[in-house]
Amino acid sequence: MKFIDTHHDQWHTITGEDGPVVTLTPTAYSLLTFAQWHAIRAQWPQHLPVGVSFGNDEEIESLEEDLPRLSLVALHFPKWVDGRAYSQARILRSRYRFPGEVRATGEVLVDMMALLKRTGFDAVVLRADQDRAAAERALTFFAGHYQGDVEDNRPIFARSGT
């Protein structure tokens, strides 16, 4: 799991004074909203790294055709107990085989770590008050799980070879 320090992050969002701007200039490592990406994707140069920040109430299927061009998808937790983004991540990885970074943003807490990792997130922006050491410890409690996940698709019965 990659812990993102927002002060030293190569990715940057594009915001105007009144929120997201629609007209923008393609620059490397832009993390765009889905609306921004939609507006500019026709002009976005191939191979210029771009990421999309995706709402948890949007249909992840609508992102499918864009995935080959994206290096990063940021999935959002408006509240940490809102578990929709876990399903989105899972579909990105298992169904669309998205190989880029899947980053958790919003209310990202220590005790979500194992769930995030197992559903396909590989980067997190912890909420500012969260302790990184505790987050790393939260990844260590279980040696294994019953059901398959994005890390190992096989449930325990397929792993143990019975």
Q: How far apart are CA 159 and CA 76, in angstroms?
A: 32
Selected from 30, 70, 90, 102, the binder of other proteins by CB under 8 A is 90
Could you say which of 95, 99, 132, 136 contacts other proteins (CB under 8 A)? Answer: 95
Interface with other proteins includes 119 (CB under 8 A)? yes
Residue 90: left (phi > 0), alpha (psi -120 to 50), or beta? Answer: alpha
Judged by CB under 8 A, does residue 62 bind other proteins? Answer: no
What residues from 8 to 37 belong to the interface with other proteins (CB under 8 A)? none
Site for other proteins contains 132 (CB under 8 A): no
- DSSP class of residue 8 equals G
Question: How many residues of this chain interact with other proteins, rule: CB under 8 A?
Answer: 40
Comparing C-alpha atoms, which of 99, 126, 129, 101 is closest to residue 3? 126
Check if the beta carbon of residue 21 is closer than 8 Å to that of residue 150. Answer: no
Q: How far is the CB of 45 from other proteins (least distance, A)?
A: 30
Cα(155)–Cα(147) distance, rounded to whole angstroms? 4
Q: Using CB under 8 A, list all residues that contact other proteins.
A: 80-84, 86-88, 90, 93-95, 97, 109-111, 114-115, 118-119, 131, 134, 137-138, 141-149, 153-158, 162
